[in-house]
Amino acid sequence: MTITIKNILSTIGLACFLFLAVGSTEDSGSNSSSSKRSSTSKWNCGWCGGNISGRGYNTIMRQIKQPANEYSHYCSRSCATSFLSAN
């Protein structure tokens, strides 16, 4: 590959974008208790049983919300609906 000005510009551009991508990742040393969507840990689904690794659902004032992992109690919207109709 011949080194041209375009190759140099592309490399610099790519490096800048990778730098931004690194900045948007979670700080591994952070002990923040805030919501983490990228966590791979599993959450208990509560009412319906089973586990979920992504975002689940929650019910607030009888409305179904899709919150971040920590506040998820139901694996699916239908599971949350089932909980609401049963209570």
* Residue with smaller CB distance to other proteins, 19 or 87: 19
Asked if 62 interacts with other proteins (CB under 8 A), we say no
Q: Give the residue carrying structure tokens 């607030």.
A: 60
* Residue with smaller CB distance to other proteins, 1 or 86: 1
Is the CB of residue 58 less than 8 Å from the CB of residue 65?
yes
Task: Tell me the closest approach of the beta carbon of residue 62 to other proteins, in angstroms.
Answer: 17
Asked if 51 interacts with other proteins (CB under 8 A), we say no
Q: How far apart are CA 26 and CA 40, in angstroms?
A: 13
Asked if 61 interacts with other proteins (CB under 8 A), we say no
In degrees and rounded to multiples of 5, residue 50 shows phi and psi of: 85, 180
- Tell me which of 44, 47, 59, 66 binds other proteins, using CB under 8 A: 66
Reported as type and span, the H/E element at residue 78 is helix 77-86
